[in-house]
Structures are given as C-alpha cells and as structure tokens.
C-alpha cells in the first residue's frame, strides 16, 4: 500500500512541476524578458530554455539523492517521446516532403544522437562526475550551433516568420518597466516553489528506490513520460488545429502565377472573416498583399483597418504571401 502511495506522490509531484513550469514560469519569464526590451530572438531563446525546466528539476533532484541512472533514463525517455512526436507530426500531416529539407534531417539526426548518448552512458556504466560537465556543455553548444544554423540556412522563410511574430508580440510590452518588479516577485516565488516540490520529489524517489527496490529504469521512464506531458498536449492541440484549419487555408495554387498579376490584382478570402488583395507594384517590382476583416470590400474599407506588406515579385514571394495570409487568418 505504501509503495502505491509513493507512486501516486511521484506522479502528482511531477505533474505539479510540469504545471508550474509550463503555465507560470515560462509565461512570466517571457513577460519579464519582454519588459527589459530584449531582442525578440533572445526572448524566444529564454522561453525555449524555460520549457525544459521539468526535466532539469527532476534530473537535478534525482542526482542529488544519488539516483544518477534515474536522471539518465528520464532524459532518454523524454528524448524518445520528443522524437516520436516530431516524426509522427510529419507523417500524420502528410508532410513527407519535409524529410527532403536539410534542416528537418538535421533535427532528426540530432534527436537520434541525443538518444544514443544516454544509452551509451548506461551501457558502459560510466561514473558521472564533475569532469563530464564541460564535455556535456561542449556537446550542447555544438548541437545548438549546428541546429540553429541549419534552420537559418534551410528554413529561411519559417525562421523569418517566427522572428516577425515574436517581434509583433513583444512590441506592446516595451517600456512597461513598472511590471518588471511584479514579474520578478512572481518568478522568485515560482523558483522557490519548484525547489520545494523538487526536493520533495527527490525524497519520494529515494524512498521508492531504496525502501521498495523499484528499479531506476522504471522510475526514470515514469519521470520521462510525465515531464513530456507539455509536448504531448502541444502535439494533440496542433493536430486538432491542423485538421480544423486545413480546410480554411489559402493554398499556393489558388494564387495563380506571377504573370497573372501583370494584368490584374487578385482578390480572395480566408475563413473565418479575412479578405485579401494581391497586386503587383510595377514601379517597385514588388507584390503588395493587403488583408482586412469583413464585411466590406477593399475599396470601401477604411485604410487604417487594412494591413499591408510587400513581397518579392516571384513564385517565392507568392509562397510567402500564402503563409502570411494564413497566419493573419488564425
């Protein structure tokens, strides 16, 4: 009976760490970074690192109680779950052509290596000590450098769109210094709570392993699955959104070829309530896309309600326009 109670504690405490990290730490850390007028890319990086807090907390307190292998199995299971979700999203959404993109191939290869490394450490029964810290840091920096450069080179449009989206989201926060102190207090309380819950989790892990003899493999696997819950939630939400939005999206083939725009502007709509116009500016040699909300047509809609953006006057530009209109329609 006692072992059952401790297993429940393990699951509940892990979920608490996940919940605090996802819905408090990540949210307010991003808001705090935005009030400091940091660059959008820096804000994105900080938020990205914060999403790994559940794994960091569970692995740290596992190691603090001497359960090194539990931490390694945790990392291993988290990486396996992430790779399965990443690959599944490509297959389910019928985006197999993405596998031809070198950035996507790089992501998958790095994920596989991230799975092989823990397996290798477990197989050779390596003794974890301070000497390995600089090696792991060097590995992380190498992974980060390869992955970020691959995305910049081979996913230029997507990378640019993400940067622009973060830029738009951070604009309204600039200069709101009064909220910096509030966010600092919230973050401090959050960190203290995570530390206390993490310490309690470490005691539960130690009790399960030493008193009840639960293998570290099972403990690590349970932690790995539990700390991957945010990724699982995001995955299913994304699939639901994809299926719902796929019917309403503007497709590249709907916009004809560049020759069409030398003769006429193109008008269309994107559900639920967005209309758009694409026209070629002969003087600038650019395509201008405009979006606005219904119910009025382009000619009678007030100028302040129309959002415009210029794109290259070629097929690549039309692809960018397609993505931009669909983004505005969300």
Q: Which two tokens stand for residue 268?
A: 């269309």
- Would you state the pLDDT for residue 189? 93
The last residue of a domain, from among 226, 246, 266: 246
Going by pLDDT thresholds of 50, 70 and 90, the confidence category of residue 33 is: confident
Are 279 and 229 found together in one domain?
no
- Report the domain count for the chain: 2
Are 120 and 174 found together in one domain?
yes
- Would you state the pLDDT for residue 309? 92
Are 148 and 197 found together in one domain?
yes
Are 237 and 307 found together in one domain?
no
- Would you state the pLDDT for residue 326? 83
Bridge partners for 279 per DSSP: 288
The last residue of a domain, from among 246, 275, 299: 246
Q: Which two tokens stand for residue 183?
A: 């966010």
- Would you state the pLDDT for residue 128? 67
The last residue of a domain, from among 246, 264, 283: 246
- Residue 160 pLDDT more than 70? no
* Gap between the Cα atoms of 147 and 203, Å rounded: 37
Radius of gyration, alpha carbons of the chain: 24
Q: What is the pLDDT of residues 51-70, one digit of tens each?
A: 788 888 888 888 888 888 88
Contact 151, 103 (CB under 8 A): yes
- Within a 10 A sphere around the Cβ of 309, how many other Cβ atoms? 16
- Would you state the pLDDT for residue 244? 52
Q: What is the pLDDT of residues 165-224, one digit of tens each?
A: 555 555 545 545 567 888 889 989 998 998 899 889 888 888 888 877 888 888 888 888
Are 36 and 97 found together in one domain?
yes
Q: Which domain holds residue 57?
A: 2-246
pTM passes above 0.85: no
């Amino acid at each position: 009976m006692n072992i059952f109670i401790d297993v429940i504690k393990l699951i509940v405490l892990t979920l608490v760490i996940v919940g605090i990290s996802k819905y408090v730490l990540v949210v307010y850390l991003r808001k705090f970074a935005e009030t400091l007028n940091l660059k959008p890319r820096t804000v994105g990086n900080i938020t990205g690192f914060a999403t790994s807090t559940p794994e960091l907390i569970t692995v740290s307190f596992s190691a603090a109680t001497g359960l090194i292998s539990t931490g390694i199995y945790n990392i291993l299971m988290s990486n396996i779950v992430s790779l399965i979700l990443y690959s599944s999203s490509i297959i389910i959404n019928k985006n197999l052509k993405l596998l031809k993109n070198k950035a996507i191939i790089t992501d998958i290869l790095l994920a596989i290596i991230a799975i092989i490394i823990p397996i290798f450490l477990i197989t050779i029964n390596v003794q974890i000590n301070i000497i390995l810290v600089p090696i792991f840091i060097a590995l992380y920096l190498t992974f980060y450098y390869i992955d970020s450069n691959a995305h910049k080179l081979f996913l230029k449009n997507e990378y640019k769109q993400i940067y622009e989206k973060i830029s738009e989201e951070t604009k309204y926060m600039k200069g709101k210094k009064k909220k910096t102190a509030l966010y600092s207090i919230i973050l401090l309380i959050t960190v203290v709570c995570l530390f206390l819950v993490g310490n309690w989790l470490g005691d539960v892990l130690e009790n399960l392993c030493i008193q009840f003899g639960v293998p570290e493999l099972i403990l690590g696997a349970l932690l790995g699955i539990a700390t991957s819950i945010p990724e699982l939630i995001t995955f299913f939400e994304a699939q639901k959104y994809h299926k719902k939005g796929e019917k309403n999206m503007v497709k590249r083939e709907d916009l004809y070829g560049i020759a069409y725009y030398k003769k006429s502007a193109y008008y269309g709509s994107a559900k639920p309530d967005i209309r758009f116009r694409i026209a070629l500016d002969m003087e600038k040699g650019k395509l201008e896309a405009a979006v606005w909300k219904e119910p009025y047509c382009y000619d009678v809609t007030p100028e302040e309600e129309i959002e415009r953006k210029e794109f290259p006057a070629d097929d690549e530009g039309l692809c960018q326009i397609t993505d931009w209109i669909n983004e505005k329609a969300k």
